[in-house]
Amino acid sequence: MHFRILGSFQAGMDGAMMPLGGVRKRRLLACLLPNANRGVATHRLLDVLWPDEAPRTAPKRVGNDDRGGLRLDLAHLAMDTSVALLTCAPGYQLRVEPDAVDLFPRTAP
């Protein structure tokens, strides 16, 4: 699994690109990737997903719709457990190998 956030925003595995879906799903992934393997607070995600004003139902929508949809997309594309979207206090964490994100320096083999 690999993610490109420098330049064109893309995700894929073995040459197959993952459709990144709508605006909120793309924003969610774009917020989680630079913070890979670290928790991101729900209130921070709400600010990213709804920059103007979050609806009253926003926390539930992040938990159910956005996170659930992204989790399913990642599980479908990454057949192994190299990528996982986890719920952790105080929000969510995207667990991913650092080498899979172009933002992070590659480690020597």
Chain segment 15-48, per-residue pLDDT in tens: 778 777 788 888 899 999 999 999 999 999 999 9
- Residue 70 falls within a domain, yes or no? yes
Chain segment 59-68, per-residue pLDDT in tens: 888 887 767 7
pLDDT score, position 64: 78
- Residue 105 falls within a domain, yes or no? no
- Residue 89 falls within a domain, yes or no? yes
Domain that holds residue 54: 2-100
pLDDT score, position 92: 92
* Domain count within the chain: 1
Q: What are phi and psi of 41, to 5 degrees?
A: -65, 145
Is the pTM higher than 0.85? The answer reads no
- Residue 25 falls within a domain, yes or no? yes
- Residue 50 falls within a domain, yes or no? yes
What CATH number does residue 83 fall under?
1.10.10.10
β-bridge mates for residue 88, sequence order: 91
Q: What are phi and psi of 8, to 5 degrees?
A: -70, 130
- Residue 106 falls within a domain, yes or no? no
